[in-house]
Amino acid sequence: MCNLTDPIYSDADKAREHLEAIQWPDGPVCPHCGVVDNAHLMAGKSTRPGVYKCRDCRKPFSVTVGTVMERSKIPLNKWVLASHLMASSKKGFSAHQLHRSIGITYKSAWFLMHRLRLAMEPTEVEVLGSGGGAVEADETYYGRRKNTYKRRGGAGHKMTVFTLVERGGKARSVHIKSGTFDKIKADLKEHVSPDAHVMTDESRYYNHVSKNWQHSRVNHSIKEYVRDSAHTNTVEGFFSIFKRGMKGIYQHCSEDHLKRYLAEFDFRYNHRAALDINDVERSRAILKGIGGKRLMYR
């Protein structure tokens, strides 16, 4: 349970100490040369709080250098509070709500949230279904692609989202811009273990799956939704949360930014309460992922 009266949400110095404890568990790490715990805290009237100087490369740094927070003028306590609000909201937290809640402009809130979404992205390829686990694969359609018009039938004007969900495990979503068949095939090879049991619907996109994996299908066109252990209900449940958040909270998303929102919904699913992860741990996971990433406004 989170205590919103904690000083890390109101005091920039306490927030910086909180970030240092998460980012530097073994002591200050120089972002310039990578040396661990060989720096001293600088002092003086002209030095801002939290600046260290590396004894090896002699360069100054702080906990935000080399992270998504670098050169931000937003106080660190507001960054920490924003990470908690995003982590504790199951279907998302809008930039308009954030700018009203923490007292920054809408433009700053929008950019801050995109940088935190970048922090939510995994740094390593996650392989699903190791040891024969069940992995459900499905695609859905959302919003509208650039320079397209609504059609009377079909989803050709919509953006395509492909998601893999390991039962009892994690999810991985990607935005498919073109070449749907080839992209699905490539993502399956990248993210699914060779010994996994892949479960899909009857879509032609999955005709090739049985060549590389154990494969079970259900046929939704004849109202078949479960056959023995085969179904896609888990991944469709993920889509339900995703669409409720996108339509009810964010309301509009351009094709350029869809991948950031997918990273956010993947992150919350992969750090959900069913995996014994609470709001505080989820927020710490976001702040742990800020390192080694930059996202410029332009």
User: What are 240-273's pLDDT values in tens digits?
Assistant: 999 999 999 999 899 999 999 999 999 999 999 9
Residue 115 lies in a domain: no
Task: Give the whole-angstrom CA distance, residue 258 versus residue 88.
Answer: 21
How far is the C-alpha of 107 from the C-alpha of 19, rounded, in Å? Answer: 24
Is 266 part of a structural domain of the chain? Answer: no
pLDDT in tens, 42-95: 998 889 999 999 999 999 999 999 999 999 999 999 999 999 999 999 999 999
**Residue 262 lies inside a defined structural domain of this protein:** no
Q: How many domains does the chain have?
A: 1
Q: How far apart are CA 32 and CA 66, in angstroms?
A: 9
In a domain, 270, yes or no: no
Domain membership of residue 142 (yes or no) is yes
Tell me if residue 272 falls in helix, strand or coil: coil
Residue at token pair 């100490």: 17
- In CATH, what number is assigned to the domain containing residue 214? 3.30.420.10
State which H helix or E strand residue 200 sits in.
Answer: strand 197-200
Is residue 114 a part of any domain in this protein?
no
Locate the DSSP E strands across the chain.
39-41, 52-54, 60-61, 134-142, 159-166, 171-176, 197-200, 214-217
Q: Determine, yes or no, domain membership for 143.
A: yes
- In 62-179, alpha helices (H): 76-88, 95-102, 106-120
Is 229 among the domain residues?
Answer: yes
Domain that holds residue 172: 134-255
Q: How far is CA 61 from the centre of its chain?
A: 27
Give 25-46 pLDDT, tens digit per residue. Answer: 999 999 999 999 999 999 988 8
82 pairs with which residues across the strands? none
202-217 pLDDT per residue, tens = 999 999 999 999 999 9
